[in-house]
Structure 1
Amino acid sequence: MREFVKWSAILNLSLSGYLDKKMAKFEINSSQFFYILKICESPGMTQDCVFQNVYRNPSNITRALAQLEGKGYIERKPSREDKRTYYLFPTEKAVDSYEEILSILMECVEEVLAPLTNGEKEVLPALLRKTAEKAFQMNQDEKERLEEM
């Protein structure tokens, strides 16, 4: 089972490094492009919606969104009803970059999955999701346990 941790870490680090290089032309990194894609696909989504759909710490999400706003990729607009709620919109810069960012991502995925059979390619996302969700829950449980101490 140590092999699972080892290869998961290698996959994560290698993909992140590769995508960092590919996304450098947009002045974004591998932890930011995802938000551009999501917001372009769902303009007007709330920041809370991002929190619920991304398995990351809310402070990391807030920081990434602020960076993207500073770089001119997104706009955050407060709700008229609740000033704590923000709606997220892509800028023209984000919309113009969307197709190329998506293409880079898809080419990367195709290349990484090239050694797999079609059957393996079909099963892998479900297995990754199951294990990632379990790891996320374990992390949340441990965080809560430590906060109670």
Structure 2
Amino acid sequence: MTPFLKNLNAISRGTTLFREEKLKEYGLTGGQVKYLFAVCNRGGVSQDELAKSMFVNKSNVARQMSALEEGGFVRREQSAEDKRVYKVYPTRKALDLMPVIRAVNDEWKLVLCRGLTDEDTERLSAVLEKMVANIRGEEGQ
């Protein structure tokens, strides 16, 4: 693995572990946070849409939604238009927890960006956005 990919993987894994530690008292795993964030930001999103937007398998989304539903963080409703489709909505419990999750994310960003200037951070953010756009372009082909 190239140092570039190794570093991206380390950041991703570090993010999950940091969230895990900070949010375990709320009954969330580090890996569930990104799913909960997506549902809270896009209530009524289908599991298929979540899979596409998050670059994960549909089975991963289904497993995570089951766990989040068991924890009382989301509710799933079968689509009236297509019975094969489930729409996911955040519960009050999830919405009330979002400020805590945002604070954890802000804290992690401070850890990651320690020693970087605002200009460094802005430039890095722009490059990462381009990389994600590249992934989306590949997905469409």
Q: Which residue of 2 aligns with 1:33?
A: 33
Where does structure 1 differ by over 4 angstroms across 4 or more consecutive aligned residues?
132-139
Q: Which residue of 1 aligns with 2:9?
A: 9
Q: Which residue of 2 aligns with 1:95?
A: 95
Q: 1:138, 1:2 → 2: CA distance?
A: 21
Q: Which residue of 1 aligns with 2:123?
A: 123
Q: 2:10, 2:40 → 1: CA distance?
A: 30
After TM superposition, the score normalised by the length of structure 1 is 0.80
Alignment identity in percent?
27
RMSD after superposition: 2.5
Unaligned residue ranges in structure 2 (runs of 5+): none
1:69–1:114 CA distance, 2 compared to 1 (3 A): same
Q: Which has the larger radius of gyration?
A: 1
Alpha-carbon offset, residue 127 of structure 1: 2.1
After TM superposition, the structure 1 = structure 2 runs for residues 18-29 of structure 1, keeping only pairs within 5 Å, are: 18-29=18-29
Aligned amino acid, residue 64 of structure 2: A
Q: 2:83, 2:22 → 1: CA distance?
A: 37
Unaligned residue ranges in structure 1 (runs of 5+): 142-149
Alpha-carbon offset, residue 71 of structure 1: 0.9
1:35-78 CA-partner distances (Å, limit 9, x unpaired): 22222222222222212211112211111111101111000000
Contact 2:79-2:87 within 8 A present in 1 as well: yes
Contact 1:37-1:102 within 8 A present in 2 as well: no
SS of the residue aligned with 1:116?
coil
**Corresponding pairs, count:** 141
Contact 1:40-1:90 within 8 A present in 2 as well: yes
